[in-house]
Structure 1
Amino acid sequence: MVMDLKLIAAGLRHCGKVQAFKRGESIQAHVIKQGISQNVFIANNVISMYVDFRLLSDAHKVFDEMSERNIVTWTTMVSGYTSDGKPNKAIELYRRMLDSEEEAANEFMYSAVLKACGLVGDIQLGILVYERIGKENLRGDVVLMNSVVDMYVKNGRLIEANSSFKEILRPSSTSWNILISGYCKAGLMDEAVTLFHRMPQPNVVSWNCLISGFVDKGSPRALEFLVRMQREGLVLDGFALPCGLKACSFGGLLTMGKQLHCCVVKSGLESSPFAISALIDMYSNCGSLIYAADVFHQEKLAVNSSVAVWNSMLSGFLINEENEAALWLLLQIYQSDLCFDSYTLSGALKICINLVNLRLGLQVHSLVVVSGYELDYIVGSILVDLHANVGNIQDAHKLFHRLPNKDIIAFSGLIRGCVKSGFNSLAFYLFRELIKLGLDADQFIVSNILKVCSSLASLGWGKQIHGLCMKKGYESEPVTATALVDMYVKCGEIDNGVVLFDGMLERDVVSWTGIIVGFGQNGRVEEAFRYFHKMINIGIEPNEVTFLGLLSACRHSGLLEEARSTLETMKSEYGLEPYLEHYYCVVDLLGQAGLFQEANELINKMPLEPDKTIWTSLLTACGTHKNAGLVTVIAEKLLKGFPDDPSVYTSLSNAYATLGMWDQLSKVREAAKKLGAKESGMSWII
């Protein structure tokens, strides 16, 4: 009978290991039939089998039906719940065992509970277990003490972890690696390296911990340790090589990346989805999309077996702004047998955002709903961003409120969309909600709120946001500093804007253009040109917006000669083609000066068709300078080009009235009545 029980137990354990579910159930049925289901030894093995099957509810059912349990029974259940990602259940069962006083915990139970404490963050229980271990003189058990160190590491308590580590008389390689990993995850790489050098015999895991830690910090030292690892005669495995490729990605180290590609091939890892994805990511981030596509297409078998590789290629297209190619790849994934995951759907939504394609976005949104990812915090946040980006603020707001966890990404997307669409009050409300929730507003959110302050000329709010920038250290960030300068300029406090601008460590063409435009808007044309020349002298090339700022300043101040010179400089020295807005500034100045022939010549030389604004500007000048002949020509241009625009009839009526051209005025008023135009702005009544 004893032999039979051992054979049955061995069979149950084997079924669990090889996942032979039906066979395991048959053995359990045999156990019940033989009347030995209450045997503790057999019941423990049945529980162990169900734990291996990850059928914890079935395991717990057997546990509850047992008339007698031992420490193995309790430990198997606690370990099972911990391994299945249910540490709270494991802790609950451990407390139940203590309350029942059926069994005293041993080192295996303590190890399982400590792991659960590490996962759930229950540091108080972890400390109590540690104290029990000391009272029971179990601190000489290396495996158990490793669990203590690991518990402290997972809770970010590195001082306690280090103290517990020092209590281990003969630390194993696992002991060292747990502590090294803890320092790496905390970003304390100098301490991790010091510990690594103290380790008697670092193994592959030790090297990988350091390499991974440096990669997470974006440090090129990851490659230094990768090279040293190889020189030590250790094999670069399927973890070290992808980490090295990732280090090449953010460093733009294409040559080194190609060398690691050779190592991947020599190591036989070219069929590993993890390695393939890392290769595609590396080439994509280094701007070598052709190489990335070659890796993707050459590994067809691996590609077809893993959606992760397809996601990497999709990400590569998006990084390199190849949106049409990304859309094509998305269609290929959809037509294949692969299932979309959250990364695929996130990529699909980003394509829609980049292409500003709401119709496609709605189709992908439907796919998100069908796939069950609408409330996924990553996919849901990008959905909010999509609808907000195309101006569909109402739907974006509804989606935002449905998200179970509103993270900074969701807030950022909706706030940016609100600012873009002019929903300034809602943007402010969301910003206040973000602060109330204790979320950390990043520099991009802050810069968007500063744009709201600029639009509303809300100096009070702007100064409060400035205070927040100083507190968080954003004042020196280019994107935030530029927004602060713009806010002060548009709120009329140009001097504060200048002080901030002069103190900026990094100034690009956008920030220079902002201060130049600000000077112009505040009537300080000389300073606008002085800062323009300062920008040129330090080697920053102006763009079309820079010149528009100068020309606008000239127009507001009536500086015709400077405007002529600026327009010519823009074309001849910098090869920039003026927009209609640039020409409008000069035409308006020429009109103000009564130089109608020159204005007409400039209009005729324009490579662009003059718009209503240019003709209306010249029309107003004709009224001022009593040029009735040109008014007739302009009227013909306006009526022919914009026959359905009510404002055209209003402008013509005003010009005719100013010049006393009553017959033409009567005809225009009659035409306006037929059109149904409301002649706003008339200062007299007939």
Structure 2
Amino acid sequence: MESKAVFTHLANLLQFCIDKKAHLSGKILHGYIFRNGLSADTFLSNRLIKFYSKCGDTSTARHLFDKMPLKNIFSWHAMLDGYCKASKLKDAHEVFAAMPERNTVSWNTLISALVRSGFEREALDVYHLMNLEGFMPTNFTLASVFSACGAFVDVDCGRECHGVAIKIGLDKNVFVANALLCMYAKCRGIDDAIQAFGDLSIPNEVSFTAMMGILAESGRVEEAFSMFRTMHRTGIRIDSVSLSSVMGVCAKDGSGEFGITSESYGFPSNMHGQQIHGLTVKLGFERDLHLINSLLDMYAKKGDMTSAAVFFNNLPETSVVSWNIMIGGYGQKHDIEKALDYMQRMLYQGFEPDDVTYINMLVACIKSGDIEIGRRIFDRMLCPSLSSWNAIISGYSQSENHIDAIKLFREMQFREVPPDRTTLSIVLSSCAGMGLLEGGKQLHAASIRALFHMDIYLASGLIGLYSKCHKIEMAKCIFNKMPELDIACWNSMIAGLSLNSLDKEAFSLFKQMLGKGLLSTQFSYAIILSCCANLSSLSQGRQIHAQIAKDGYMNDVFVGSALINMYAKCGDVDGAREFFDEMPFRNIVTWNEMIHGYAQNGRGEEAVSIYEDMIESGEEPDAIAFVAVLTACSHSGLVDMGIEIFNSMKLKHGVDPLVDHYTCIIDALGRAGRFHEAEALIDRMPYKDDPIIWEVLLSSCRVHANVSLGRIAAEELFRLDPQNSAPYVLLGNIYSSLGRWEEAKVVRKLMSDKQVSKNPGYSWAEPKNRMEVDLNDDYRMMVDEFEAANL
């Protein structure tokens, strides 16, 4: 009896050492057990193995295990559990394979360890083996398996396991059901999740919280709030986790489609958030730091930085997370000064910035367009993370400073920081922007080495690169070899075909995309409308317009701008204006398209009128707007109005005139025969070596038979662009029109001596929705121009 009491006392002492991880005390007990010859006892040895495993000393635990004369299933489980908790999965596999007998606990221990360590596929393989050996899964098994399916985004396997849960009656188990909901959330199986939630007889706070997250992520914000209200009304305990989750829902609320927010209906955009804030105070969670940060994040994501600042300044305590939220919030508002101010205050109060702080600051600088400050912040970082590298490279790429983006990428390689798919995609975009084909090919090779070449995200970037470098066959090859394609890949390929003047192929591919059941995006419609415009196919453009209305994109400002461009280029400028007047939202692109549409169709006065309406609406014209309105003035003979608008560019709107603006004004003056003013403008402009300027002037000289100025313009073009046939044709035509045949022959001979050839012309028509092109390979225009000279 006394011996049994000693055993019980020793076992209790060992359990105490296990619970408290009392390593030294446990070793003393081990010494006592060894000295008193009790080491052969299986029960005490199992406790010792568990103790050493809990203290992280698996080598001693394994030594004890190997020395045990008699092992039972608990001995094997103790060793297996020790290796699993220490994440020594290779050793765990060895122990598992050597077990003389296994039960459900053995399988569960290994499966859960694999899931915890990120080996989800291996965990699923072990689960399938468990089924083959005839073991029935428990609630712990299924919870781990659902977690693996979610992490691996394997919804088919998840549904199969869901069926198993129903078959063995575990689908009603709250523990299993909650894991099932989380799995469907990660796999975007919103309908499956709703059905699984409905099957729960008694959902708990975890079930409701999971469903709120699923609905919010799917954009069904009101349903997520309804779920929270149901949870509240049914008396289910609301904890800080539930409140933090619903706060995430509040952050998404009101960011409606097409720019429509809850404020449009007279409610504050963060109304729900304010209500949950009040509930937080009522339930006494106002000092919970995690929840406080969720509240702060909600105000910041809603763009209500005034409320966020008031709330932040009254916090009883803050953390690095709190400061990061404020810096990130001001960054999203493009307020770089406030973001810098909060970072300085953070440092002053003794908080050490982390990687998130620097990334938020970098994003703030990039969004504010201040890449120089962003670079200074980046250079201060001793060991920038991959996210920091991606942020600063992206900043350079977005600001079209592609050379520095590529230089930084090279520096990143020298520092042996391995790129991810985001890095490669950003740098591919810069290579495409520069037309740097060789650099893009090297990145393609790097993506193959890093096993990213079948990545959908990267594939769209590669298609874009080869398309912009006019290697459309290579782009097609990548597109056709992808085992799976998302909407971004389809859009990239359609855009690439259009960019390479293959608009009919682009249209055909768009139809294929719709046939496969993919839903078009705003970008898809903008591209295909551009194709219709390039093909001057009004009938197909109207069909796309009808589809846009059906899909609910009529209020999208970018799609609307593309529609205006399509109608105007197809000659239906009144249809473009009708749609323009109906648009609820407009931006500078929309106004520019409408002005340009009138300009293209020779309706200059209306173009000037809508330009004036744009200024009156408060929209500031940009360089493109001035090109459009000056073109309209030029084509409609509104010379004085054009000069007035040109002079107002810098004085009233702060826009420096570019070569295109000078070209428009010189064209207007030349068409009107005001050559002295045109010459004076050319003398003082900074773009004297641009061939387009001289070609425009020469064309006007041909109309007005201005031989002296025409000869000067032609000579400048011979110098600047010697292989361009236009100046020879135009100068020769000036001489021909005046009967100066000998001089016309001299020009033609000069053209022949320099081996300058004229590209063939073409004509097109659109009978019954198809394009027919007639190439004129016989230099018909050239013969017409010089027919008189051949007499």
Q: Same-fold call, TM > 0.5? A: yes
Task: Report the alpha carbon displacement of residue 463 of structure 1 after superposing the two structures with TM.
Answer: 1.7
Pair 614,280 (structure 1): closer, same or farther in 2 beyond 3 Å: closer
- Aligned with 2:103 (options 58, 70, 93): 70
Q: Is the 8 A contact 2:494 2:506 kept in 1?
A: yes
- Aligned with 2:480 (options 401, 408, 420): 401
Q: Tell me the distance in 2 between the aligned counterparts of 1:614 and 1:149.
A: 66
Q: Is the 8 A contact 2:331 2:361 kept in 1?
A: no
Pair 177,536 (structure 1): closer, same or farther in 2 beyond 3 Å: closer
| Between 455-464 and 290-299, the greater mean CA deviation after superposition | 290-299
Q: Deviations over 1:483-518 (max 9, x none)?
A: 111111111222211111111122233322322222
1:233 aligns with 2:287: yes
Q: Is the 8 A contact 1:623 1:659 kept in 2?
A: no
Task: Let me know the Cα RMSD of the aligned residues.
Answer: 4.6
Pair 25,662 (structure 1): closer, same or farther in 2 beyond 3 Å: farther
Task: Report the alpha carbon displacement of residue 337 of structure 1 after superposing the two structures with TM.
Answer: 4.3
Pair 268,233 (structure 1): closer, same or farther in 2 beyond 3 Å: farther
Q: For residues 566-577 of structure 1, what are the structure 2 equivalents within 5 Å?
A: 567=646, 574=653
Q: Tell me the distance in 1 between the aligned counterparts of 2:493 and 2:527.
A: 11
Task: Report the alpha carbon displacement of residue 415 of structure 1 after superposing the two structures with TM.
Answer: 3.1
- Aligned with 1:538 (options 614, 617, 626): 617
Q: Tell me the distance in 2 between the aligned counterparts of 1:523 and 1:667.
A: 37
SS in structure 2 at match of 1:373: coil
SS in structure 1 at match of 2:289: coil
Q: State the percentage of identical aligned residues.
A: 26
Q: Tell me the distance in 2 between the aligned counterparts of 1:192 and 1:269.
A: 38
Paired AA for residue 232 in structure 1? E
Paired AA for residue 739 in structure 2? G
SS in structure 1 at match of 2:226: helix
1:431 aligns with 2:510: yes
Paired AA for residue 233 in structure 1? R
Pair 324,502 (structure 1): closer, same or farther in 2 beyond 3 Å: same
Q: Tell me the distance in 1 between the aligned counterparts of 2:337 and 2:636.
A: 56
Counterpart residue number, 2:162: 126
Q: For residues 375-524 of structure 1, what are the structure 2 equivalents within 5 Å?
A: 375-524=454-603
Paired AA for residue 418 in structure 1? L
Q: Tell me the distance in 2 between the aligned counterparts of 1:67 and 1:660.
A: 110
Task: Report the alpha carbon displacement of residue 217 of structure 1 after superposing the two structures with TM.
Answer: 6.2
Q: For residues 241-252 of structure 1, what are the structure 2 equivalents within 5 Å?
A: 246-247=328-329, 249-252=331-334
Q: Is the 8 A contact 1:368 1:374 kept in 2?
A: yes
| Between 400-409 and 548-557, the greater mean CA deviation after superposition | 548-557
Task: Report the alpha carbon displacement of residue 482 of structure 1 after superposing the two structures with TM.
Answer: 0.9
Counterpart residue number, 1:651: 730
Q: Is the 8 A contact 1:584 1:614 kept in 2?
A: yes
- Aligned with 1:190 (options 209, 225, 242): 225
Q: Deviations over 1:545-571 (max 9, x none)?
A: 444434444444455555555555557
Q: Tell me the distance in 2 between the aligned counterparts of 1:288 and 1:579.
A: 24
Pair 52,496 (structure 1): closer, same or farther in 2 beyond 3 Å: same
Q: Is the 8 A contact 2:555 2:583 kept in 1?
A: yes
Q: Tell me the distance in 2 between the aligned counterparts of 1:184 and 1:8.
A: 52
SS in structure 2 at match of 1:475: coil
Counterpart residue number, 2:302: none
Task: Report the alpha carbon displacement of residue 29 of structure 1 after superposing the two structures with TM.
Answer: 6.6
Pair 69,420 (structure 1): closer, same or farther in 2 beyond 3 Å: same
Q: Is the 8 A contact 1:126 1:151 kept in 2?
A: no
Q: Tell me the distance in 2 between the aligned counterparts of 1:399 and 1:524.
A: 45
- Aligned with 1:670 (options 749, 768, 785): 749
Task: Report the alpha carbon displacement of residue 195 of structure 1 after superposing the two structures with TM.
Answer: 6.2
Paired AA for residue 375 in structure 1? M
Q: Deviations over 1:112-136 (max 9, x none)?
A: 455567664334642652564479x
Q: Is the 8 A contact 2:170 2:176 kept in 1?
A: no
Q: Tell me the distance in 2 between the aligned counterparts of 1:618 and 1:308.
A: 52
The TM-score, its normalising length taken from structure 1, stands at: 0.79
Aligned pairs, how many? 668
Q: For residues 98-109 of structure 1, what are the structure 2 equivalents within 5 Å?
A: 100=134, 106-109=138-141
Pair 328,110 (structure 1): closer, same or farther in 2 beyond 3 Å: closer
Counterpart residue number, 1:206: 242
1:270 aligns with 2:334: no
Counterpart residue number, 1:85: 120
Paired AA for residue 385 in structure 1? G
Paired AA for residue 572 in structure 2? E
Task: Report the alpha carbon displacement of residue 92 of structure 1 after superposing the two structures with TM.
Answer: 2.7
Pair 337,671 (structure 1): closer, same or farther in 2 beyond 3 Å: closer
Q: For residues 271-286 of structure 1, what are the structure 2 equivalents within 5 Å?
A: 272-274=354-356, 277-278=359-360, 280-281=362-363, 285=367
Q: Is the 8 A contact 1:149 1:164 kept in 2?
A: no
Q: Deviations over 1:600-653 (max 9, x none)?
A: 555545554275555556556656656555555555555555555444333333
Q: Tell me the distance in 1 between the aligned counterparts of 2:184 and 2:757.
A: 76
Task: Report the alpha carbon displacement of residue 407 of structure 1 after superposing the two structures with TM.
Answer: 2.1
Q: Tell me the distance in 1 between the aligned counterparts of 2:237 and 2:683.
A: 82
Structure 1 gap ranges (5+): none
SS in structure 1 at match of 2:607: helix
Q: Is the 8 A contact 1:153 1:161 kept in 2?
A: no
Q: Tell me the distance in 2 between the aligned counterparts of 1:183 and 1:378.
A: 25
Pair 299,59 (structure 1): closer, same or farther in 2 beyond 3 Å: same
Task: Report the alpha carbon displacement of residue 67 of structure 1 after superposing the two structures with TM.
Answer: 5.8
Task: Report the alpha carbon displacement of residue 223 of structure 1 after superposing the two structures with TM.
Answer: 8.5
Q: Is the 8 A contact 1:551 1:585 kept in 2?
A: yes
SS in structure 1 at match of 2:120: coil
